Amino acid sequence: MAPEPKVPGTVYLDHAGATLFPQSQLTSFTNDLMENVYGNPHSQNISSKLTHDTVEHVRYRILEHFHTSTEDYSVIFTAGSTAALKLVAEAFPWVSPGPESNGSRFCYLIDSHTSVVGMRKVTTAMNVTSIPVRPEDVRAAETRGTAASDPDCQLPHLFCYPAQSNFSGTRYPLSWIGEVKAGRMCPMSVPGKWFVLLDAASYVSTSPLDLSVHQADFVPLSFYKIFGFPTGLGALLVNNRVAPLLRKTYFGGGTAAAYLAGEDFYIPRQSVAERFEDGTISFLDVIALKHGFDALERLTGGMENIKQHTFTLAQYTYTALCALRYPNGAPVVRIYSDSEFSSPEVQGPVINFNVLDHSGNIIGYSQVDKMASLYNIHVRTGCFCNTGACQKHLGISDEMVRKHLEAGHVCGDDVDLIDGHPTGSVRISFGYMSTLEDAQAFLRFIIAMQLHQCDGQPLPPTTPGEVGAPSESEAQDAVPATVDRCSSSPWEDAPTDSGVSNDLPTTVAAVGLHPPLPMATRTQQIPSEKAAGVLDGGLGPRVITNLYLYPIKSCAAFEVTKWPIGSQGLLYDRSWMVVNHNGVCLSQKQEPRLCLIQPFIDLPQKIMVIKAKGMEPIAVPLEENGERTQICQSKVCADRVNTYNCGEKISSWLSRFFGHPCQLLKQSSNFQRSAKKRVKDQSAGSTATLSLVNEAQYLLINRPSVLELQQQLNASDANGKEELFPMKELISRFRANIITSGTSAFEEETWDEISVGSLRFQVLGPCHRCQMICINQQTGQRNQNVFQKLSESRARKVNFGVYLTHTSLDFSSPAFLSVGSQVLPVLKENTEHHELPASTEHQDVIS
């Protein structure tokens, strides 16, 4: 197998979510479009006929891929597998309960995708009973050979199950299809005829499916899971024996043989595809499938090779993960699986797990995801649109799901632990272009994250001369990891016929643990501190030692000693943002070099001067010209904001610096973006307004908190090889507006509100940190130690600093914040509070 190279330095392990496409596939497709004219297939001209014939050829190619033909199956193109499932739910010949029967039954495996479970809303509207069944109940029925009591009854029932669980990768027997259809096995014992829907979306991405043997009635697919491109295109494969039973109400363009506009007369087209493909299909995307099949065959030799290749990688990784132990013998991960990865017949290339600490406590998936991103490893987290499997494996009861919702947790968010219990997990999955190096990079990441400070015995060294074996000096630098000596080695049972296992190393820690660091182009210069004599980490009165604003979101700080307050926070703080060619806001997560862009605001001149090494300074007006400004809509943290483009000149400047198209947008001055977090005692309809910040108007950090982290980071520098962290450099990583000199570390988290002169600020809560704190704000380079050490010391929640919003601000006269001003906190209830005497020396508000 010779997959084309991926983006250098990227370890992509979410192939079950969406696989990647090779460059050759895209090149072939675009060449096709440039060399041919494809018209609407509902016309009769030459270009339309070409489209129709090409689409029909692709239908044949799809059926051939699944070892069947148009004699047995029809291909209905849909927007994806979800749309295919919805089509079945709406068109299946359900029978509602009545005097002569109890009606149809809809049974689905609990380990099913949300889109399958969602079919029950359609059946409920028809008064049809929906019944979730457990895999063990189906297996019990398989053993009993349960059959319907009346074989002549034709009452239609539908059983849905996945060929492969998208949660754990468990593969369910394809033999169930024939057993259920033949009546030898039933999900539940009711008279009638059972039809089978096989959810193959996850399975067929890495395995062959032979529909000539396993003749399911309905097979939904999503092609991006197989080819990576195109997205938004799927299909429903319908067994032709079942097609005449399907019912359809709505009819769209292209589906009618004839109809009348003035009366209820409609005759559908003959073929099932023409009847159910309402409107013009996405014909160019369908044509792209041909090139997907060609690339897949050319690069891999077929699905059987993909099946063996991906399973070998998963089996190797699974065995290595199972072997990892802390020095006290505790496992490093907890894997959620119904198999022991013994065969690709029972297990797909998916590993679902949670990381544990040395005491067996689960580390939230959100923290693992953030750490993985520092190594440029792409994983999937959450419940993966499969609540049934998530509840089963994680032990989440129905009542807990409801309580989690009440606590604010919804599907897809980053609330990973509630009362110490996980709400989801981490999933990695392999595709045909995955490599042994991908698996090893992931294992090195887990070892570096969890075992980098353990004193356990290192893994056994590799055999001299073995492919991939490190030199003696490299082996000494390898991070030690402890292996469960009772567990089998990750290379012991690996298949030898895939071309992967021959190069497996005999130690997980054989390769160095240094993720690639983005190169920066220059060193950023930050103005010197003007802290009015306040020392780093000083324990004197609480005062403001530094003030920063960040005029351009994610760009460098602009340090001031006194600055006016606006309705959204410090005046002009995060008023601008850099967007890419698609208008998407850029942050340092995607573009670390943003920190090298230095904005300076000149209030008297009403301009912002932007500088960067190797670039001529450029000026941008602070306010828009109302007559010539065209307002456009953008998104920031899921909020819609009105912005305007700052012009072609600055766009060209930014594009030259970054090497790709960029624009500078400014939030419109008359647009009000409301904060999501309501201030205590705030009247209804009176919410704080925000600039382009993520969460709140202000972010405050406390020097003693930074000092404690600095001491932990520098103390962990046992061998002298890691970089030391100066106080100012650490402070800059947290990108706060207000820096205070407190009396103790993390005391700010006990504050309910603060006063600075006549200004009052409500504390909204802690700032949950992401991987941006790993970026050195002077160089743009990453160092994951900051995030990792903070995660370890702060019970894995990585909180640092607190959000503030001002309360009852009077704009009848100007207000300012100044360095040297005293900060007077009010503690939360039930927290001991020592009042500090008010000082007139540092009054900062000028009215």
Tell me which residues are annotated as active site: 385
Q: Rounded to whole angstroms, how far apart are CA atoms 200 and 206?
A: 11
Asked if 442 and 332 touch (Cβ cutoff 8 Å), the reply is: no
**Structure-block tokens of residue 301:** 């030799």
Any idea what the Cα angle at residue 409 is, between residues 407 and 412, rounded to 5°?
Answer: 175
Nearest CA to 277 among 287, 269, 266, 289?
A: 269
Neighbours of 841 (CB within 10 A): 9
Q: What is the dihedral of CA 64, 69, 70, 75, to 10 degrees?
A: -50
**Structure-block tokens of residue 837:** 């005497």
Q: Rounded to whole angstroms, how far apart are CA atoms 50 and 40?
A: 10
Strand 193-199 relative to strand 156-162, pairing: parallel
**Structure-block tokens of residue 332:** 């490093």
Asked if 160 and 116 touch (Cβ cutoff 8 Å), the reply is: yes
Contacts of 364 (CB under 8 A, 6+ apart): 416, 417, 422, 796, 797
Burial class (CB in 10 A: 0-12, 13-18, 19+), 231: middle
Task: Say which residue the tokens 């490299």 belong to.
Answer: 474
**Structure-block tokens of residue 444:** 């090195």
Neighbours of 182 (CB within 10 A): 10
Q: Rounded to whole angstroms, how far apart are CA atoms 351 and 15?
A: 12
Distance of CA 629 to the CA centre of its chain: 36
Q: Rounded to whole angstroms, how far apart are CA atoms 694 and 672?
A: 15
Neighbours of 411 (CB within 10 A): 14
Q: Rounded to whole angstroms, how far apart are CA atoms 360 and 345?
A: 32
SS3 (DSSP) at 455: coil
Contacts of 593 (CB under 8 A, 6+ apart): 518, 520, 521, 657, 658, 780
Q: What is the dihedral of CA 738, 741, 742, 747, to 10 degrees?
A: 40
H/E element holding 108? Answer: strand 105-109
Contacts of 76 (CB under 8 A, 6+ apart): 84, 87, 235, 236, 237, 238, 272, 273, 276, 277
SS3 (DSSP) at 222: strand
Q: Rounded to whole angstroms, how far apart are CA atoms 41 and 281?
A: 9
DSSP state of 666: E
Distance of CA 88 to the CA centre of its chain: 29
**CA distances (Å), 66 to each of 62, 80, 103, 239, 285, in order?**
7, 17, 34, 13, 20
Any idea what the Cα angle at residue 36 is, between residues 35 and 42, rounded to 5°?
Answer: 165
Q: Rounded to whole angstroms, how far apart are CA atoms 449 and 451?
A: 6
State phi, psi for 405 to the nearest 5 degrees. -65, -40
H and E: helices and strands count for the chain: 20, 40
Q: Rounded to whole angstroms, how far apart are CA atoms 810 and 828?
A: 25
